[in-house]
Structure 1
Amino acid sequence: MLTCEAYLAEVGTGTLELTEQHLTFYVKKGFITKRTEKAREISITDIMTLAQKDQGVEITWRGIEILTDTFVINDSKLLSEVYEAIAKSLEQYKEAEAKKADAKRTRDELAKTLWASLKVVNTLFDLLMSLNGRVGWPKVETLFKNFQEDSDEVKKTSALAPAFESDELGSAIEDRLPEEALKAAYNILQEIHESFEQLTATKDDFMKELHPNYVDALEVIEACYILNDIALGMTVADEKVKEEIDVFVQMLEDLAKKANLKADANQVRSLADRMLVEGTSDNRVIESRRGFEEQIEKLLS
C-alpha cells in the first residue's frame, strides 16, 4: 500500500492511498471534531487513461460518468513513485484480464474438442464390441468410416485435439484381421487418453477456475471410457461390470460437485443397470451414452 498527501481541485487536500485494486482519496471534514471521509474511490479496473503531469497524476476514469481528476502530489519527490505505482497496478490488471480472456477462449476450445472426442471414443468402443465374437465386417467397415469422419471433426476443433493415427486400424479392417484391429483400436483409445492426461500438466491458474478445465476433461474422458467399458464388459461377459458401474456413478457425482452441476447420476446408473439386466443392444448402449451426455452437457456449454 502506498500513501501520500495530495490536493484535488474542488475537494481540497487529503491523503491519497493506493492498494492493489483501488485508489482512494481521503479528506478530513469538520471544524472541531475531524472525521475522515472518502472523496474519491477509483477502482483500478475503471481507469481509462493515466498521465503524469508537472505536479500531479491525471486519471480519467469511469464512474457514474466519465471523470478526469488530477491529484497534485504535495511532495514532488514522490510524484514519479506514485505515478509508477498506479501504472504498475493498471498494467497488472490489464495482463490479468488478457490471461482471463485467453483462458476463456481455451476453455471454449477444450469444450468443443472434448465433445468431439467423446464421439470418437464411442465409435471406437462400438468397433471393439463388433470385433468380438463373430465379426460382421460390413458393420465394422461402416463404423470405421464413421470413426474417420469423427476423427476429422475432432482434429479441426483446436490445437488441443488428441493426436492419434488410424492407418493401422484401417489396414487391419481391410485385411479382415480382427485381433490386429482390436489391438489398433485399443492403441488409439490409449493415445486419446494420454493426450488429455498430458493437458493436465499445463500450468494455468486462470484455467483452473473455469469448467471444463484440463482435469475436468480428463475425468469426463475417463468416465466415458468406463461407461463404454461397461457395455463392452457385458458383451464379453466380464464379471467386474457391476463394480465398474459403481465407479462410473461415483466419478460422475464427483465431477458434478466440483463443477457445480445438477447431475443425476442415478439416471445413468439406472440406464447401466438396465443394460446389465436386458443386455447390450445397440439401442441400450445409445440410450446410456445419451444419458451420460445429458449429464455433462451443461459442463460443456
Structure 2
Amino acid sequence: MAVAGMPKCYGRVPVAAGLALVALLLPALPAGDALAEPKPTIAEAKKKLEKLNDQADKIVEKYNQAGEKWKKARTRYRTLNGALEKQSAKVAGLRRELVAMAVSGYQAGTVTGWESLITRPDPSDLLSGLAAVDQMSALRAQSLNAFDEATKTLRTDRDEAKAALSEADEYRDELAEQKAKADKMVKAQIKLLRELGAYRAGNPNSPGITYTGSASGSARKALQFAFAQVGKPYQYGGTGPGGWDCSGLLQAAWRAGGVSLPRTTWEQWSWGASRRVSLDDLQPGDLIFSEGLGHVSMYVGGGQIVHAPQTGDVVKVVDLSAYGRRLVGAVRP
C-alpha cells in the first residue's frame, strides 16, 4: 500500500520497518508538542477563568473561615492558659502557707504545746491558750479546704487549656490545607489572566479615588474608606492595608463607619439576618452577596458597586450589571 506523498515501494516490508521508515520521513516535532493540546480561544479562556473565579470564591471563603476558627481557638487557649498561670500561683501560695503552718505546729509540738498550757497557774491563760489552738485548727482546716478547691480548679483549667490548644492545632492544620488549595487556584488564575493579557497587579500604595456620592452618616464613611482603596490589589485573605479580599475590604470599610462586621462573607451574611433588604431597594453602603456566599460587594448608588473582585484584579468601582455573579441578597449594616 502506497503512502501519500511517498514513492511507491514494491515487495514486502516488515511492519516495524515500515513504521520506522514513515517516522524517519515525517517532519520532527519539538519535544513535548506531540500530545500538546491546542491553546484555548479567548472565549474558552474567559469561560474557564469565570469557572476558576467561582471555585476560588468558595476556596478563599473556606480559607478565611479556617483562619477565623484558628484565631478564636488560639485566643481561647491563651485566655485559659493565662487563667491557669494565675491559678498555679494561687495554689503555690496556699501550699507555702500550709507548709508554714505545718512547720509552726511541729516546732510548737502538739504534746508540748498542751503541756505548756495546762501547767500555767492562771486558768484564764489556759482558756486563752485553748482558744488559740482551736483558732489555729480552724485556720488550718480552712486553708486545707481552699488548697483542695484551688487544686481542683487548677486541674480543670489545665484540661480546658489542653483541649483548646488541641483545637487550635487542628484548625491550624485545616488552615494550611485550605491555603495550599487557594495557592494552587491562584496560580491557575494568574496563568490564564496572563494568557489573556488581563492580569492587573495593582498598586499596594494606591491613593484611591474620592467618593462624591449622596450617602451620609456611617454609610458615607464606609464608602469613603472603600473608595480610598481603589487600585489596590485583590489578595485572598487580605485585610489591608496593601491588599484586600472582598469581605476583608468591607469589614474594614464599615469599621471606619463605626460598625463591627464579622470577618467572612458567611459570617457577615449570618450577622445581617435581621438586616436583610430587597435587591430592588438598595441604598449606598448596603452589602450585596453572591449566590453561594463566596463574594460580597458594597452598593455605591446609581447602579454601581465597589468591591475587591478576584485574583489578578484590583479594588474597583463597576456597574452592578457587570458584576458577573448571581446575587442572593443584600444586608444593610
Fold agreement, TM-score > 0.5: no
What TM-score, normalized by structure 1, do the two folds share? 0.29
What TM-score, normalized by structure 2, do the two folds share? 0.27
